Copies of this chain bind each other. A is one copy, B any other.
Amino acid sequence: MTKGEKTKQLLYHCALELFREKGYDKVSVNEIVEKAGTAKGTFYVHFGSKAAVIAEMFHTYDDYYNRIEEEMDNTAPALKRLEEFIRASCSFTEEEIGLDLIRVLYLNQLTEGELEQDALRRDRALYRIIEKLLIEGQNNGELNNQFRADTMVSWIVRSIRGTFYEWAMKEGSFSLSEECLRYVHALIYGLKA
């Protein structure tokens, strides 16, 4: 690892530690660089903004999703596996990421045009896995064939994202997994009589 990469990692870890300790808003960039023993300019060599640290962190989502995918029981019905996958994603968010950092991520997707695309790209694993499951569901006859798989993926991702947003907004006042699953279930089975 080159020295530049090491510095970036150092800043990254110091920042995350401070964020978890005091909350994102209560941590200044000055504080981060002080803890890391570097200069402010150095911070901005590696990160375009304070929030870019959070964006960086969301690479861990991809890793996690891929791991879940590997561990899934491929003999179960596609919809069952979809449920499992969503549950795992929610648990990871609740337990490993936490409310504060989700809030900052969602804030950021609304502010920074550059990060936004990153975040979408970061959803790649999520998209890919859900799409795979939906196509399987369509082939199995578990799902409607009148919609394109990628259309349905975007609806499901949106429903997940919407629930995450509400969760962050209401400061975690409900169980993310439960609400996500109930909502996605409703989306799949429909509200009509």
Binding site for B on A (CB under 8 A): 103, 106-107, 109-111, 113, 116, 141-145, 147, 152, 155, 158-159, 161-163, 165-166, 168-171, 183, 186-193
Chain B residues within an 8 Å CB radius of A155: 183, 186, 191
Contact (A192, B144) CB under 8 Å given A161-B165, A163-B158, A187-B187: yes
**Whole-angstrom distance between the alpha carbons of A141 and B192 in the complex?**
9
**Whole-angstrom distance between the alpha carbons of A145 and B193 in the complex?**
7
Chain B residues within an 8 Å CB radius of A171: 113
Interface centre among A169, A191, A193 (most CB of B within 10 A): A191
Chain B residues within an 8 Å CB radius of A106: 110
**Whole-angstrom distance between the alpha carbons of A18 and B109 in the complex?**
24
Chain B residues within an 8 Å CB radius of A165: 110, 161-162, 165
A116 to B169, Cβ gap below 8 A?
yes
**Whole-angstrom distance between the alpha carbons of A159 and B107 in the complex?**
19
**Whole-angstrom distance between the alpha carbons of A144 and B192 in the complex?**
5
Chain B residues within an 8 Å CB radius of A193: 141-145
**Whole-angstrom distance between the alpha carbons of A179 and B141 in the complex?**
26
